[in-house]
Amino acid sequence: MSINVSEKAVGVIPSRHVHPAAYRLYIELLKRHGSSFASQLHGSSNENVMKAIDNALHLSDVFGVQASDSAVLVVLFVFSSVWQLLDASLEDEGLLECTPDKSSKWLTEIQDMDVDCFQEKKYEYHEGMLKMNTLMAIEMIAESLQNRMTSRILLLVRQNM
C-alpha cells in the first residue's frame, strides 16, 4: 500500500485544484496506511519496495541521500509526506509566498493545464471540496505530529538537517 500512496503523491498534489476528489482520496490513503509504512518494509521484497518508493518520490535526489536502508526510507517518506501536505496547505491559503524561500521544494502547482469552466453548482461544490481538502490536510499534519513515532521521526530529521 505504501507504494500506492507514494505514487499518488506525485500526480495528485499538483493536480489537487483540478481533481479535488483524487486529492481527498490521497489524504485518506495517507491517513489510513501512512502509519503502517514501517511494518510493511520488513517483507522479502523490501529492496524492490524501497526502490519503487524512491523512484516515485525521488527522495534520494531531493535530500541528497541514498535511501538504501529501510529506516532511512521510512524517515524520508514520513518527512516528505508531512512536508508536501504542509506546502500544499500553505499554498492553498496563500501563505507560501510568506516563507523565506517563497516556493516549495515539491511540485505543488499544476503545470500547463487549462481548467474547464464549471457551472454554478459544480463550481460551488468544487470550491467547497478544495476548502475541505485543505482542512483535512492540516488535520493530517496535526495527527502526524501527535503520533509518537512520527513526531520522533520529524524531531530526528530536524536535528540532523
Q: How many residues does the chain have?
A: 161
| Rounded distance between C-alpha atoms, residue 147 and residue 141, angstroms | 10
For the question of whether the overall pTM of this predicted structure is more than 0.85, the answer is no
- Model confidence over 46-100: pLDDT tens digits? 677 777 778 877 888 888 887 667 777 778 888 888 888 888 888 888 887 766 6
- Give me the residue label for grid cell 521510512: 74
Model confidence at 35, in pLDDT bands (50, 70, 90)? low
Does 115 score more than 50 pLDDT? no
> CB under 8 Å to 30, separation ≥6 — which residues?
5, 81, 85, 140
Angle at the Cα of 87 (from 85 to 92), degrees rounded to 5?
95
pLDDT at 118 over 50: no
How far is CA 12 from its chain centroid?
A: 9
Rounded CA gap, 78 and 43, in Å?
19
Q: Other CB atoms closer than 10 Å to residue 14's CB: what's the count?
A: 20
Rounded distance between C-alpha atoms, residue 156 and residue 29, angstroms: 25
For the chain, what is the mean pLDDT? 75
Q: What is the pLDDT of residue 113?
A: 40
Residue 113: how many CA atoms within 13 Å on its side-chain side?
Answer: 13
pLDDT given at position 71: 75
